[in-house]
Amino acid sequence: MSVLLIAEHDNSKLKPFTFNAITAASKIDSDVHVLVAGTSCESVSKETANIPLVKKVLVCDSPNYQNYLPENLAPLVIKVSEKYDHIVASANTFGKNFMPRVAAALDVSQVSDIIKVNGPDTFVRPIYAGNAFATVKSNDKKKCVTIRPTSFDAAEKSGGSAPIEKVEAVDIPSTSKFIKREETKSERPELGTARIVVSGGRGLESGDNFKLINDIADKLNAAVGASRAAVDAGYISNDHQVGQTGKVVVPDLYIAVGISGAIQHLAGMKESKIIVAINKDGEAPIFSVADYGLEADLFTALPEFLAELNKLNTIQK
């Protein structure tokens, strides 16, 4: 039976994690159908149809879905889901927001944030901030599943030609109103998908000192992350937070600077391929997960680090 995946997009193109979610969906069943709900989102449905793993695109183009309000989106997903056994979305703030509404309305117990598909009804998901992995079997007839995007490879983008089918919009409640979205614009790669992440913690001592982190990030073409402590202290905005309740990142290289390594932070980065820790406290827990630890004062180490990087002839981008 087919899988229905709910695409995340900005009405002009797909968000990167949708490609990872498509890979996860295809491991549940190869007949992956993707619902694109949006406003003037024709380019998104075309982009989706090009993905070889996608077998059918359902597009619902209506002003109702411009801002992805869960109160509006959930009734549409429920209507479309009638013919499907699985409803899948990314376990990010998009999927987390609407999927439980769908599950509750269908009287289904949702399986959140899976990192592995063992079979159509059996999944692995982290619990306790990733300190344990639970293998779970859903006994609901219909299954609502959110997937951790960084645990699955991104699907191929081109070569497919799935048919595009139109879906009628459904009535929406008028109980919630979108006011505005303030997105942090950055020239740097997106934190969730960057190959290298440079993160700062409370050890940075101020927002101004994040310049030291930014300089390294620019040199390495890396994204900038932060611990919850740094975000709480107001050094940097919330969308940079890495951890249990922030973003989960799995870059090739994660550089943690002035971050002690609380359980909640490790939950968001310990699957990274190579971890570097720079901290003046040699006993900091971050060193227990680091491949390379440097016990040093970050205020001298970071300028030196930048100088060393500048000496290199080539840097991988």
Partner 1 sequence: MKILVAVKRVIDYNVQIRVKEDGSGVHTDNVKMSTNPPDDNAVEESVKLKESGKIKEIVAISIGEDKAQESIRKALAVGADKGIHVKSDSYIEPLGIAKILKKIVEKEKPDMVFLGKQAIDDDCNQTGQMLAAMLNWPQATFSSKLNIKEKSLEVVREIDEGLETLEINLPAIVTCDLRLNEPRFASLPNIMKAKKKPMEQLNAKDIGVDLSNRIEQLKVEEPPKRKAGIKVASVAELVSKLKNEAKVI
Alpha-carbon gap, residue 201 to 100, rounded angstroms: 32
Does 218 engage in binding with partner 1 (CB under 8 A)? Answer: no
Identify the residue whose tokens are 């949006």. Answer: 38
Does 224 engage in binding with partner 1 (CB under 8 A)? Answer: no
Taking the C-alpha atoms of 110, 111, 117 and 118 in order, what is their torsion angle to the nearest 10 degrees? -100
CB of residue 294 vs partner 1: minimum separation in angstroms? 5
Q: Considering only residues 41-70, where is the footprint of partner 1 by CB under 8 A? A: 69-70
From 23-31, 134-142, 161-169, 205-213, give the range in contact with partner 1 by CB under 8 A.
134-142
Q: Which amino acid is at 248?
A: V
Q: Considering only residues 3-32, where is the footprint of partner 1 by CB under 8 A? A: none
CB of residue 52 vs partner 1: minimum separation in angstroms? 26
Segment (H or E) for 17: helix 16-28
Binder to partner 1 among 178, 206, 281, 297 (CB under 8 A)?
178
Does 164 engage in binding with partner 1 (CB under 8 A)? Answer: no
Nearest to 216 by CA among 199, 230, 231, 201: 199
Does 153 engage in binding with partner 1 (CB under 8 A)? Answer: no
Q: Considering only residues 263-302, where is the footprint of partner 1 by CB under 8 A? A: 263-264, 270, 273-276, 282, 287-296, 301
Nearer to partner 1, 209 or 241 (CB): 241
Q: Which residues are registered as beta bridge partners of 153?
A: none
For 90, 97, 98, 127, 148, the CA distances from 93, given in Å and listed in that order, are 8, 6, 9, 18, 11
Q: How many CB atoms lie within 10 A of CB 134?
A: 12
**Binding residues with partner 1: total (CB under 8 A):** 93
Binder to partner 1 among 12, 39, 137, 153 (CB under 8 A)?
137
Binder to partner 1 among 107, 187, 208, 283 (CB under 8 A)?
107
Binder to partner 1 among 151, 199, 244, 260 (CB under 8 A)?
244
CB of residue 276 vs partner 1: minimum separation in angstroms? 7
**Cβ pair 135, 114 in contact under 8 A:** no
Residues ≥6 apart with Cβ < 8 Å to 176? 69, 71
Nearer to partner 1, 57 or 244 (CB): 244
